Structures are given as structure tokens and as C-alpha cells.
Chain A
Amino acid sequence: MSTRMQASPADSAPTRRLKLHILRYNPQDPASKPHLQLFEVDEAPSMTLFVALNDIRDHQDPSLQFDFVCRAGICGSCAMLINGRPGLACRTLTSSLGERITLAPLPFFELIGDLSVNTGKWMRGMSERLEAWIHSASEVDLRRLEERMEPELAEQIYELERCIECGCCLAACGTARMRQDFVGAVGLNKIARLRLDPRDQRTDADYYELIGDDDGVFGCMSLLGCQDVCPKDLTLQTQIAYMRRKMLRAAVFSGT
């Protein structure tokens, strides 16, 4: 039976000496200049970039800055450029990379230092701008049965709700390069998610006020970078295209 015969994870992994070139820069230190620093690490079986970076900080350079929280691909803290491509470092196995690995902080976001960027601050600002929460005028009586929802609709909402606000989509976005105020696939996906939800009582005209411009849904150039790098495989381009159509419709019918 095939399920029984598997080897334990990475039992056969060969030992390599990894060469990690890491972008170092501390904006708080006037003397600091951005540069790549080389660290060498002996690869271990099942090693992820989380393990490798902690190994470097624990045993080579305690000043190295990076962000991990869940280290399981769930929280979105550790997005960085891995050989130039945005991705989650915690769930990237070194065995999936060559011996030479380049790590740089995510572009677009404010740099805190080395590989650490301030995605949280940007995401909060985006949420405030887009009023990205359920808007409902009705007070719910918590003692009563909950409102019903079609099971399929709940699943569809969850599908879009899976975004972890890691920032990869913005790091891979052409529009974001040019427009610092672009709300990105993360913002547009959030509006698509709220629009799908009957508990959010806003109309398309309301959403149009929030995303009906070049910083919103009309700023997207459909380069598809966001969807290519999304660690949660969200259908970002479909959502953006759909929202663009709905927003156009809202504009036409409201006479805007």
C-alpha cells in the first residue's frame, strides 16, 4: 500500500552549504548603507527560510531583522523577496531553492530594517480608507437564532476571506509602483468579499465611492502579477475584473 511505504520527510536530503545574500539596511542608523551581506549556512533536512534565518541570527549576526509570527504560512508576516519573487519565507523549503539564495525586503512598504517591512501600518490605512468592515444598521439580538445563509454562499465568502494581508500582491504590482495610494489586489479583493456578503448592507454606489477611481479598481493594468504570487492562490484577477464591471455599471446607472 503506497501510503505505508513513504520515507519520513526529507530523509534523503543531501547536505549543502547555502549561500544567503541578504539585503542589509537600517534606516534608523545614518551610517547604514543598503548592501548585500553573505551568510553561509549548512542546510539541514526540512530546512525552511524561517529555520535558516533564525540560525543566522542565533549564531552569526544577532542584529539581523526579519519578521515571523506563526511560521506556518498562516499569518502573513514573513513575506519577502526570495530570489526576487515575493513569497512567504516561513514555508519556503531551502531544498526548493538553489545553493545561492538572495533575500530582500518587500518593496512598496515602509522599510523597518533589513527584511522587516511595515505591512501592518499600510493594511490598517487601507482598511480605514475602504471602510473595510461589515456595514449593518440592524442590531442583532444575540439570544435569538442567527440569520440563515446559504451554505454555498458561506463557502464563497470564505474563499475570498482567506487573504492574509501579507503584501505579496502589492510587491508584485505594476500599478503600485506608480501609485503609492493604489489599494491593490488586497483592497479590491476585500471589497469583493464584502460585496458578496448580504450582511454588508452597502450598495454598488457606495462601493463606487470607495474604489471607483485610478487608486481603486480602474488603476489595475491587468498585469496579473498579484495572482501569480498570491500565497493563498486567491482568484484576484477574476475578482478585480468582476468588480471593474460592477463599478462601471454603478457609474453608468448613477450618472457619475
Chain B
Amino acid sequence: MKVVYTDVLVIGGGLAGLRTAVGVRRRGLDVLVLSLVPAKRSHSAAAQGGMQASLGNSAMGAGDNEDIHFEDTVRGSDWGADQRVVRMFVNTAPKAIRELAAWGVPWSRVARGSRESVVNAEKITITEADEAHGLITARDFGGTKKWRTCYTSDGTGHTMLYALGDQTIAHDIPVLERQEALALLHEGDRCHGAVVRDLITGELTAYVAKATTIATGGYGRIYKVSTNAIICEGTGIALALETGVATLGNMEAVQFHPTAIITAGILTTEGCRGDGGVLRDVDGHRFMPDYEPEKKELASRDVVSRRMTEHMRKGKGVPSRYGDHLWLDITGLGRAHIEKNLREVKDICEYFLGIDPVEQWIPVRPTQHYSMGGIRTDHTGQSPTLKGLFSCGESACWDLHGFNRLGGNSVAETVVSGMIVAEFIADYCETEGGELSIGTGLVREFLERERQRLDALLEGAGGESATALRERMEAVMMDKVGIFRTGEELEAAVQELQELLRRSRNITVRTKALGANPELVAAYRVQKMLKIALCVAQGALLRTESRGAHFREDYPQRNDRDWLKRTLATWDDEADDLPTIRYEEIPVTDMELPPGFRGYGTRNHVDHPDTAARVAEVERTLAELPEADRFARQQALMDYESLLPEKYRGRNERLTERL
């Protein structure tokens, strides 16, 4: 029996996992990172466009601050977010970006003087102030009132991941590559680590830890076409689900990005539209202003994706052998801009489409992109039901994004949540409750159980094929649990997924190799993925309203009266064919920004009975503070600072707000 002990086990070597590891190491703890792939190859590297932080350095971001970032994020979430978490996030994002700057990220900088730019398809001149010269600049992204998205060309995630990867090495943190967690070690309401399979040798090892952190990204690959890397299969989130104790939050909240290229589904960044690109239909007509007169191409992603689909349904798509698509036109931006600030996009167009986006339009359509749902945690990143289990980044639902995430808020969340959650993990490990209390018998039991599960796949006579089940699951999710959803289709999806789950218990793996065995890997992963898919589909079926990225054609209204709540899914028994769904209220009475119209999309919602009273209370509170500064006004509405780790409290300096 092979057992490895550490203080903190981090599962996942992307930005969130690495930042967590660095944070707990700096607090003097022993930490191990497990990763399916070399850390610098994680999906974080694919984030192109940028990271939101309200520095307000550039002319188009002037006047920006945490308050505006907060409002944009809450509106973007369609009021599904936990507003305290949003406040913690927006206050820490400038600190995170400054930390990364110190670690070597070559953020694009403000250059003093005038330059030509494209806004709303028109050339304008932007003049940057002398005093801003050399500070970190920002570009425009959807759903934001200011240009707030900081970037390095369109390789932002790559530069962030490399800086953090280098810091991980500098801090002498072991990253064990090609290691896959198969199950969490747990007893009662306490998590003790994980059972882990070496993908090269096939060996099983128990990693026993005071705190276990899942930072494994999203579950995009349950869909047939996704911008996600192929390792984003949701199997890390499934580890928590399979405990039967930990809960998953808002799994039906799945984002579709407006502009992935056909057919590969590879992303072209929102920076294309932020920098002035427009969407065109089969007639070459720029159609978004017809639907969204104010934000046009830069409404939030859920809205733009729906409008594009709506427009294609009207027969305005461009027919192709892969189905309809629309055009992304960045030709107006000019060669110099594209080759400097959108070079990954240019590479992708050249290699995968054989076109030059400086001259030609890019064929795009909305494609699965982001998982707002994930392991439900509190604001410290800890599961409320399974102690010692933490999660952060895309795999978590703590819950920053509600039912729709803004572009640029995800890479920001990875590092911000890593910074914050690392402190709470370290605090936890230093308390009495954090001490290990696990017997070798339990470890043996879990190792034995996983060994038997693998043997069952290798020796099974059921004859089912993992590939066939997976292809069917991907198709069902794509066709029936997509951008536009109906009760009828969702019901059919749930039924078929249940059938697939039952069949997945009878998979036979033909390759008997005990070491590296991709067929065995595919088999145990599809079993986990089907459970995740069922959480998404069942959550979507039961939520009879439309909110953010979850859109029900049979219930097109956002219904705060009945549905201002977070979906919680558990898998109570291994033999179950469905998750158990419960809900938790999102209390209006605590909200700094009570629910209302988002400012884009359709104005169509049913108010919560408490909304009017809370709106009046907010107005009254602010009226009583006519002289107070913005910090005091905010504090009077909703406390969040006491929730932050002490080292990340405090104001952020700006050119216009000196400390």
C-alpha cells in the first residue's frame, strides 16, 4: 500500500491550482500538485484576451474602480452571483495583476500620446495621458462599462501560466505530472486526500492530506463541440460529486462563447470584438445593432450567443457543409493591430482555416466555452458539507459568476481565488480541526475499492464501448442541453443520459495493459462525465425560468419570485441514476445591488417580493450619507472586507486615487 503524506494536496496544475500551491507554501506548509499534464500545458494557457482588473490606467478605462467592476459582474451574472464574493474578487483583482506583474508577466502597457482605434466600426482617436505612460493598459470586453481587460497581446493566459509555473518551480513545489485522482478519501463529513492513478505506470497511490483542493477547471468536454482543451472533462468535479457528501452548484449554467471557428471549435478571443471587430450575416449585414442597440457586439456572451442563434434561425446564417455559421469581421482593425494584438487569432485562422483575417472574414458560431457551475463552496473556498475539501477557479462555484460569466473574469478569478483560498486553507491547516485523523484501514479500503473498479472495467463482460457512450453523450448535450432549451428536449436528454449511465456500468476495456492504457482512462472518465452531464441536464430541466446562459424557450422570463436560488446537486448513492437536486435561496435582503434590468438582452423578469423593499432600503441608506465617499457608501450597504484574508484587505491605488 503506497501512501504519500502532505499538508495540502492540490489537484490540478492550472492557474488556480498553482496560485493556491504558491500561497500555502508561502505560509510554510508542505504542498503537492497533481496534474494530468505538465502544468504549463494546462487549459489556462488558452485564455487569450485578458484579465479584468479595474486599474483605470488607460484613457478608455479612466474613472474605473471596484464599484463599476462589481456592478458589471453582478449584472453579467443575471443576479445569480454571491455579491459578497464579487466584492472580494473585484477588490483583489488589482492586487493579483500587480503581483503577476512583479512575477514577470509582460502586460501590455499604456503608451502616451494619440493613436487610432476602432470603436463601433468607426475610427476614433484615443489620447493617453503622460502620467499613465508605462502602466498596465486595458482593452474593451463584453458587458463592461469601462475598458478594463488587461492583456499581453492575445496570449494573456499563456504569460500568466508561465509566470506562475516559474514561481511554482522557484518555490520548490513538486508538480506530479500525468497523475489522475480517481476518488477522494473521505469519512463522514471530512475529506482526507485522494486515491491517485499514475497514467504512465498505472500504479495507485493514496495521497493523504489535511486539506485537499480541487482546481481542475470546467466540464466543457461533455459537449460535442467546445472551445475547452480536451482534458476539461469535469472529472475533477465528479470526484466531489461521487463522495455523496459534497454538493455541486448551478451545474446547468453553461456558457457558449459567440465566436469559435467552425469546425474545430477553437476560440477566437472576445478581444476581436473588444478591439472593434463586428459580426456579419449571410448578406454581409452587421446585425447585432438591430438586436442590441446599446452594447451591440459587446453585450454579455450569453446575450450575443442567443442573438446569433436567433439570427441564424431566421435563415440569415451562412450555409456550409458543417451547418450554418456567421462571420466575424476584424478586417477593419488593420494588419499592424492584428499582427501585434491578435496574433494567436491570426495563427489559428491561418493554420486551421487557411485564411488571413486581415483580409478575410472568419467563419464562427457560438460554442460551449465555460462552466459557471462547479463544486459548491463558501467564500473561503471550502465545501460547506465536506470539511477539508476546497475548490477554486472554474471547478468551483463560490459563486462569482452566477448564471453568466463576463469575458476576462475567468483568468482573473483563477489567480484571485487562488490567492484568497490559499490563505483560508493555511488557516484551516493550522486549526485543531485541520489535524489529520485517518486510519490506515480507511486508506486501504479506498485503494481496494478503486482497484476493484478498474478490474471490473478490465475484466467486465458487458461489452459496452466507452467511445460509443461518450459520442452519444456529447451529441445529446449538444442537441438538447444547448443555448436554447425546452422542457421536452431536456426530458428526453435526461432519459437518454440515464440510459447511457446504466450502460456505462457494463463497459469492457479490450486493452488489458496495466500501465499506460488510454482505453481504460476513457472508460472510467466517461462514467464520471455522464454523472456530470446528468447534473447539468436535470438542473436545466427543473429550472423553469431563464437566467443568464440558461435559457428556456418555454419559460423565457427571469423569475426572481420563484427562482432566485442556487441549484445544489448531490449524488446520494452510487447506484442512483440521477442526482438529487436541492436549492438554496440567494437572499435579496442582503444585496448591495438588488435585482433589476441588466441593461442588455430582453427586459423581461418577474420581481422577487423582497426586491422593492430592498431597493428602497438601499436608496434610503445612500440618502443618509450624502457626504460620504464611495467606500463608506459601499460599506453601509454590504460588508465584505471582514470576509477577506487580512493581507488582501485595503484599497487599491490608482492615478486618480492615490493612497
Contacts and interface: CB of A to CB of B under 8 A. Distances in A.
Interface of A: 1-4, 6, 8-11, 26, 28-29, 45-46, 48, 57-59, 62-65, 67-77, 91, 93, 112-113, 116, 119-121, 123-124, 127-128, 131-134, 136, 140, 142-151, 154-155, 157-158, 161-162, 164-165, 194, 197, 199-200
A72 B48 CA distance: 12
B492 interface: no
Nearest to B282: A4
Contacts of B169: 124, 127-128, 132-133
A227 B155 CA distance: 21
Interface of B: 37-43, 45-46, 55, 94-99, 101-104, 106-111, 133-137, 152-153, 155, 158-159, 162-163, 166-167, 169-170, 175, 177-178, 200-201, 229-231, 262-264, 266-267, 284, 318, 320-322, 325, 329, 331, 340, 344, 347-348, 351-355, 359-361, 363, 467, 471, 509-511, 513, 515-519, 522, 648, 650-655, 659
Contact of A148 (B134, B510, B517): B134
A29 B514 CA distance: 10
Nearest to A145: B653
Contact of B229 (A10, A29, A71): A71
B513 A63 contact: yes
A154 B100 CA distance: 14
Given A65-B516, A116-B516, A154-B108, A143 B264 contact: no
A46 B264 contact: yes
A113 B107 contact: no
Given A9-B353, A197-B106, 14 more contacts: A4-B361, A8-B262, A8-B363, A29-B515, A45-B263, A46-B353, A62-B510, A120-B37, A134-B102, A142-B96, A144-B659, A151-B108, A151-B111, A151-B133
A11 B322 CA distance: 10
A39 B344 CA distance: 32
Contacts of A93: 351-352, 354
A70 B43 contact: yes
A26 B348 contact: no
A122 to B, nearest CB: 10
B109 A149 contact: yes
A70 B355 contact: no
B46 A146 contact: no
A73 B653 contact: no
B135 A69 contact: no
Nearest to A122: B38
Contacts of B331: 3
Contacts of B175: 124
A189 to B, nearest CB: 12
B518 A57 contact: yes
Contacts of A155: 106, 108, 153, 340
Contacts of A112: 178, 200, 516
A58 B229 contact: no
A113 B516 contact: yes
B652 A143 contact: yes
A51 to B, nearest CB: 8
Contacts of B467: 58-59, 62
A62 B522 contact: yes
B321 A45 contact: yes
A62 B166 contact: no
Contacts of A64: 518
A148 B133 contact: yes
A146 to B, nearest CB: 5
A196 to B, nearest CB: 9
A199 B340 contact: no
Contact of B352 (A4, A91, A113): A91
A65 B513 CA distance: 12
A73 B347 contact: yes
Q: Which of A112, A132, A154 has the most CB of B within 10 A?
A: A154
A221 B377 CA distance: 55
A63 to B, nearest CB: 4
Nearest to B510: A62
B110 A3 contact: no
A72 B46 contact: yes
A134 B43 contact: no
A1 B155 CA distance: 32
A2 B358 CA distance: 12
A63 B517 contact: yes
Contacts of B318: 8
A8 B158 CA distance: 30
B41 A48 contact: no
A151 B55 CA distance: 17
A11 B263 CA distance: 12
Contacts of B133: 148, 151
A-B complex: 9 closest residue pairs judged by Cβ atoms: A120-B38, A148-B134, A62-B519, A8-B320, A133-B166, A142-B95, A157-B106, A151-B109, A134-B104
B98 A9 contact: no
A56 to B, nearest CB: 11
B22 to A, nearest CB: 11
Contact of A158 (B153, B170, B352): B153
A70 to B, nearest CB: 5
Given A144-B659, A158-B159, A74 B344 contact: yes
A69 B161 CA distance: 15
Contacts of A120: 37-41, 177-178
A75 B229 contact: yes
Given A4-B284, A45-B321, A71-B264, A123 B517 contact: no
A74 B322 contact: no
B264 A145 contact: no
A207 B272 CA distance: 39
Contacts of B42: 69, 75
Nearest to B467: A58
A154 B107 contact: yes
A149 B134 contact: yes
Nearest to B107: A154
Nearest to B519: A62
28 contacts: A2-B360, A8-B322, A8-B363, A9-B262, A46-B263, A63-B511, A63-B518, A69-B229, A70-B41, A72-B46, A75-B45, A91-B351, A93-B351, A120-B39, A133-B103, A142-B648, A143-B652, A144-B659, A145-B655, A147-B101, A149-B107, A154-B106, A158-B106, A158-B152, A158-B159, A161-B155, A164-B40, A199-B104
B37 A69 contact: yes
Given A57-B518, A200-B104, A6 B229 contact: no
Nearest to B44: A75
B516 A162 contact: no
A74 B154 CA distance: 11
